[in-house]
Amino acid sequence: MGLSFLLAAFALAAVPAQAQNVEQKIQALEQELSQLKSEQIELRKDATAAAAALPTFTYRPGNGLAITAADKSWELRWYHEFHLHIYNHLDGEAEPGGKGNVSTNGGRAPSDKFSTGDLFLRRNRTYINYCWSNCFYLVRWGLDADTGEVIGTQTADFYVNFSKLNPYFPDFFVANPGGQSARYVSRSSETSAQVEIASDMMADSAANNLSHRGVGLQWVNVPLGSGDFLLALEATKIGFSSAGNNATVGTGGGANAVPSGSNENADNTDQWTGFIKAGMRPFSKTKNKWLQKTKLGFGYQVNSPSLSLSSTTRRIRLRTMDRVGRVDVIDIRNIGGGRHHRFEWGFEWGVGPYLFRNENNLSAFKDEFRSLTGSDPGTAKGVHGSMWSLGNELFLWSPKGVLTGSGSTPHSVQIGWRFARSQASCGVAGCANNFEAVKRANLTLREWDLWYYIRPGLSVGTWWNWWRSSNTDLDTQDAIGCKKKPNNINEGKSCDWHTVNLGLRLNF
């Protein structure tokens, strides 16, 4: 009995001691766990801070790859265009034997005539943008390595973007070449059904277009009411635009032809061009689907190109847009001195999957004397050229359903059709350069397009061009297969010919 009592008393005394030891161990474990949590939080903070200090990588098809500093102190962006065309001429003959001049700048002579299956790298261009201080300072540079051209600079310009301080402040730029083009309303080379720019049908070598030298101010997409506007003012060196040859069929080649994009006289003359472009999207911020895509714009250039450098400084040409088998319908050169004016304007409207585009341009020369020496005054007064175009685009289908889709929606199907007409007149005197019998002409295009968008930035398609020229000279008739018999001497007849082309567009 006494022994039982002693054992029970010992057990009762030991239980509190054991419980106390367990509690102490739990407290020690809790302290260790709390310390580990604190250390993990600190490590996480350090890792987050380190990650935040690393540059960020972003990619968007068509806009390229951007590497941006965490504090936006600098950014590097790279993107690339790769557009491959296959030209197929349904008319004319591929065999040699016709008449005509041989172009000295790589163009196709009339004796070469047309062919099918011609591969042409329409665009092979890489672009790099560098910017600092949240892109307050920006340098753009682009390399052009298309088929048939010497590798050279496509774009090189420097911007100070004062719009970063206030959206109503202008951006200042220096371009060599680069800067603004005169077209506010124009097709997109990436997502439009139409492949080429309509204004290319009336090429004006005295106008500055894609690549030129100059300085200017621009206001881009500045808020205005329910939309936004663009305004660009620029003073540029006179330089040749894209009025040069590239695989020309017809009699417009010749020894004086200037390669496409050449700025041969830009550093050798004190002649300047005054340039202004204005455009607006008045309802871009509204939710009204009938007005949201409305767009209109206007561009104007004025200059007085020098006669002392080349007969092609002052030049108007009507030509087709197929880069292989290109046809010159008329080529007006040696226009003479005096003021040159270039106007471009356009209108765009769309709703849902449909888009309509109207483009126009007009070039006029005041001819004070004909020859380069000025010894033959006033023999070519009234030289002018113009172009107008009506383009339509419609997305037929996408995985979202009928009459849906976009250039950024995979598996979208797009169709397009366009009517365009250009015309030019030599004025009082006849045209030189083997077009002496042609004093005026016009060129008409009927175009049908079909494109399939595999993914954003990648599409394949086909387009059919139906060309018609009026008042066609004999050598050009022979080159395009319009003159069917050797004794056909119908100078100035109307001619039709067709091309069905294939294309691949890749924009990284």
Higher pLDDT, 252 or 486: 486
CA 266 – CA 241 distance, rounded (Å): 11
pLDDT at 308: 58
pLDDT at 195: 93
DSSP assignment, residue 246?
A: S
Tell whether the model's pLDDT for residue 107 goes beyond 70.
Answer: no
pLDDT at 244: 37
Q: For residue 399, is the peptide bond before it cis, meaning its omega torsion is within 30 degrees of 0?
A: no
Are 270 and 226 in contact by the 8 Å Cβ rule? The answer is no
pLDDT at 269: 55
Most confidently modeled of 1-15, 177-191, 346-360? 346-360
Residue among 465, 164, 173 at smallest CA distance from 322: 465
Q: Strand locations in 168-282, DSSP E?
A: 171-175, 202-204, 213-224, 227-237, 248-249, 272-281
The reply to whether 99 falls in a domain is yes
The reply to whether 52 falls in a domain is no
The reply to whether 8 falls in a domain is no
Tell whether the model's pLDDT for residue 267 goes beyond 80.
Answer: no
Tell whether the model's pLDDT for residue 13 goes beyond 60.
Answer: no
Token couple for 28: 């020690």
pLDDT at 14: 54
pLDDT at 8: 59
The reply to whether 46 falls in a domain is no
The reply to whether 140 falls in a domain is yes
Task: Give the pLDDT confidence of 140-157 residue by residue, as tens digits.
Answer: 999 888 876 667 778 889
pLDDT at 336: 72
Task: Give the pLDDT confidence of 459-470 residue by residue, as tens digits.
Answer: 999 999 999 998
pLDDT at 491: 67
The reply to whether 175 falls in a domain is yes
pLDDT average, residue stretch 9-37:
68
The reply to whether 34 falls in a domain is no
Residue 267 CB-density burial (10 A; 0-12 exposed, 13-18 middle, 19+ buried): exposed
Q: What is the DSSP string of 306-369?
A: -SSS-TTSS-EEEE-S-SSSEEEEEEE----SS-EEEEEEEEEEEETTEEEEEEEEEEEE--S-
pLDDT at 261: 36
CA 103 – CA 205 distance, rounded (Å): 17
Q: Strand locations in 133-212, DSSP E?
A: 137-144, 152-161, 171-175, 202-204
CA 278 – CA 182 distance, rounded (Å): 9
Token couple for 111: 């004796």
Phi, psi of 111 (to 5 degrees): -70, -20
CA 497 – CA 489 distance, rounded (Å): 19
Tell whether the model's pLDDT for residue 24 goes beyond 80.
Answer: no
Are 412 and 453 in contact by the 8 Å Cβ rule? The answer is yes
Phi, psi of 347 (to 5 degrees): -145, 140
CATH of the domain at 434: 2.40.160.10
Arithmetic mean of pLDDT over the chain: 80
> Measured on CA atoms in the order 96, 98, 101, 105, is the torsion positive or negative?
negative
Lowest mean pLDDT among 194-208, 221-235, 343-357, 389-403: 194-208
Task: Give the pLDDT confidence of 50-71 residue by residue, as tens digits.
Answer: 667 788 999 988 789 999 998 8
Could you report how far apart the first and last alpha carbons of the chain are, in Å?
96
Confidence of residue 23 (pLDDT cuts 50, 70, 90): confident
Residue 179 CB-density burial (10 A; 0-12 exposed, 13-18 middle, 19+ buried): buried
The reply to whether 32 falls in a domain is no
Domain carrying residue 212: 58-507
Question: 3-class DSSP state for residue 403?
Answer: coil
CA atoms within 13 A on the CB side of 151: 5
CA 236 – CA 342 distance, rounded (Å): 14
Higher pLDDT, 416 or 176: 416
Tell whether the model's pLDDT for residue 344 goes beyond 90.
Answer: yes
Instruction: Round the CA-based radius of gyration of the chain to a whole number and report it.
Output: 33
Helix (H) / strand (E) containing 56: strand 56-60
SS (H, E, C) 72-117: CCEEEEEEEEEEEEEEEECCCCCCCCCCCCCCCCCCCCCCCCCCEE
> Measured on CA atoms in the order 312, 313, 314, 318, is the torsion positive or negative?
positive
Residue among 243, 245, 472, 474 at smallest CA distance from 361: 243
Task: Give the pLDDT confidence of 315-334 residue by residue, as tens digits.
Answer: 888 999 998 888 888 888 77
Q: How crowded is residue 81: how many other Cβ atoms within 10 Å of its Cβ?
A: 22
pLDDT at 1: 60
Helix (H) / strand (E) containing 8: helix 2-52
Task: Give the pLDDT confidence of 423-459 residue by residue, as tens digits.
Answer: 998 876 556 555 556 778 899 999 999 999 999 999 9
**Domain count of the fold of the chain:** 1
Confidence of residue 484 (pLDDT cuts 50, 70, 90): low
> Measured on CA atoms in the order 29, 30, 36, 39, is the torsion positive or negative?
negative
CA 118 – CA 120 distance, rounded (Å): 6
pLDDT at 20: 66
Task: Give the pLDDT confidence of 361-371 residue by residue, as tens digits.
Answer: 999 988 665 54
Q: How crowded is residue 362: how many other Cβ atoms within 10 Å of its Cβ?
A: 16
Please report, for residues 146, 264, 337, the alpha-carbon distance to residue 371 in angstroms, rounded to integers and kept in the order given: 35, 20, 9
DSSP assignment, residue 494?
A: E
pLDDT at 98: 36
